A and B are shown apart, each in its own frame.
Chain A
Amino acid sequence: MTTPAAELVGVSQRFGSFTAVDSIDLRIPRGRLTTLLGPSGCGKTTTLRMLAGYASPTSGRILIDGQDATRTPPEKRDLGMVFQSYALFPHLTVADNVAYGLTMRKVPAPERRRRAGEALELVGLGHLGDRRPKQLSGGQQQRVALARAIAIRPRLLLLDEPLSNLDARLRVQMRAEIRRIQSETGLTVVLVTHDQDEALEMSDEMVLMRAGKVVQTGAPRDVFPAPADRFVAEFLGYENFLTLADGREAAVRPEHLRIVPADAPLDGAADGGVVLDAVVVDVAYRGVDLLVTLDATDPAGAPVRLVADHRADHRSDHSDAATGPAPSAGDRVRLLAPRARLALLTAEPATEGLS
């Protein structure tokens, strides 16, 4: 087994009596893209800043390439960081911004220019080297910040919500761009985000955090269908929570609940799935689908409110008996959740009951 690119061992960060990061253990696999994902204030930035050396942990150790770096100042860590505000030097040209880290490393001028140029090419901005940061769009500034961090060939590339200042289209474009750069350079990347779609799309490894703790880690394909607990499930967009007949709690995504006529055959129950009788409470039109709110009784006998996505393209398809016509408020319907779509959750802390 290779040493991880970086490792946090029992790392905590306290601000006064408040614990922002609570004794976390984390291994950042080499040559992969790891995302730190979690709601606002859960300690993602704090964790990244400790990794970069801008804050030193109150307790615990940080290893980079297997070496203890807990007290190493940022300039000696050889890491590339992209700040949320980009932090481009306004008094330097784009090319000089990108070359800054090389200048600090006393790389001779010709090589410096060449490498800065290469980094700018990599992000597709080779032609804008003479501009000032202010003369660039937000997306271009973001790329310059990326190029500047990459130019020093860092041991680790750290990105703090690099896409949050971009508009929706550019954001989606840049996700692919960062992935491309990561695979072309083979860099180890740690990316902070609170956007689960971003994390799912970009990560090799996801680290879900809550209140300063790591709650689940794993590849998106492993984490998404099997959230470790209700918090992770909610964060990943599971909106329906039911107690099964055997007392276990399960989560179902709105798009996996099927609304069928009340008299449809009960074949869904055969494979261990859930079949519920429900009453439509509300129907909201959302273009591609209808968001249907329903009241039902779960297999354990408790009343639950559920939401289901009902695809709009099924509305005109009256011949599809399994889907049926568009539901409207007051309709009695039947809900199907196949066994494979039920995410079973481990027990939750007592503080959070069923809503």
Chain B
Amino acid sequence: MTGQTLNQGAGRSLRLRHPVAGTLAVAGYVIMIVPILFVVATAFTAGSTLRFPPEGLSLKWFGEAVAYSPFTEAVVSSLELAVLATALALVLGVPVTLAIHRGRIPGKGLLEGLFLSPLVVPELVVGLALYQQLMIGLHLDNFTTLLLGHTALLLPYAVRVTGASLALADPALEEAARGLGASPLRAFVTVTLPMLRPGLISAGLLGFVTSFNNVPLSLLLQTRDFRTLPVTMLDYVQQSYDPMVAAASTLVLAATVVVAVVAERTVGFAKIFGGINR
């Protein structure tokens, strides 16, 4: 008798525990996913306007998108930029992480704040500053400026995410390695780096996706000879209204899903995103 009442009570409280949060979460997913579904659906249209519902079913806009040279060139540019910026952010970010977590330097908080600041400073402001200082002031070319801008953008991710995996590792591990005869460099390579591996993979993936999708910075720093894919697509929809851009978006989406699945299989999202909200 009592057990039954208890069970019923438990069931009800489960359903009612977070009614508001639950509803909001569902609404959030709907708001995020439905527009994407519209885009994907229109990409398969046989008609010639970006309209829902699609008129007929065809893959012709995919063909058009793949053959459209501004898009394909922009994909290459975006990939180049994203890969290089991510690599640079990791190369710069890992020593900073080590200094913050393992170093005996004063003002660690300040250093950490400095490297996380690009997260809070609006990208348009950063873009404008880079434009004025680097492109105009130092006459750096467009790609270098974009690379520096994107690297700055990705540094917080590199520092935070690799820092999260370093924070989980026992500092005594490196000492143990030293005590067993490893030089500081050997200890880093044989012990610290393997500890950092999940963090490096996560930071790399996050950085790559962030750079690849970035609009504000790229928009400000673009020129005729170097354009990223999102900016090119933005330009395109301002001029014409055909479904080719939906097809291009769908392809990017598909590629992103593949990356996400691989990331989930190899590292796990909990680790990737856990690193940011530490």
Binding site for B on A (CB under 8 A): 52-54, 73-75, 77-81, 83, 85, 87-91, 100-101, 104-105, 148-149, 152
Contacts and interface: CB of A to CB of B under 8 A. Distances in A.
A52 B176 CA distance: 10
Interface residues on B, range: 10 to 19
Given A87-B170, A89-B191, A104 B181 contact: yes
A79 B186 contact: no
Contacts, number: 60
B173 A87 contact: yes
Given A75-B181, A91-B195, A148-B180, A104 B172 contact: no
Interface of B: 170, 172-173, 175-183, 186, 190-191, 194-195
Contacts of B181: 75, 78, 101, 104-105, 152
A90 B179 CA distance: 17
Contacts of B170: 85, 87
A75 B182 contact: yes
6 contacts: A53-B179, A54-B175, A80-B179, A87-B170, A88-B176, A148-B176
A205 B65 CA distance: 81
Given A75-B183, A104-B181, A83 B195 contact: no
Top 4 A-B pairs ranked by shortest CB distance? A101-B180, A104-B181, A87-B172, A87-B176
Nearest to B173: A87
A55 to B, nearest CB: 10
Contacts of A91: 194-195
Provide the main secondary structure of the chain B interface.
helix
Contact of A104 (B175, B182, B194, B195): B182
Q: Is the interface of A mostly helix, strand, loop or mixed?
A: loop
A83 B171 CA distance: 11
Contact of B178 (A73, A90, A105, A149): A73
Nearest to A78: B181
A100 B177 contact: yes
B191 to A, nearest CB: 6
Given A77-B179, A78-B181, A79-B179, 9 more contacts: A53-B179, A74-B178, A74-B179, A75-B181, A81-B175, A81-B179, A90-B195, A91-B195, A104-B181
Nearest to B169: A90
A83 B177 contact: no
A53 B175 CA distance: 10
Contacts of A81: 175-176, 179
Contacts of A88: 176
Contacts of A79: 179
A149 B181 CA distance: 11
A85 B195 CA distance: 16
A152 B194 CA distance: 23
B172 A100 contact: no
Contacts of A101: 180-181
B195 A75 contact: no
A14 to B, nearest CB: 15
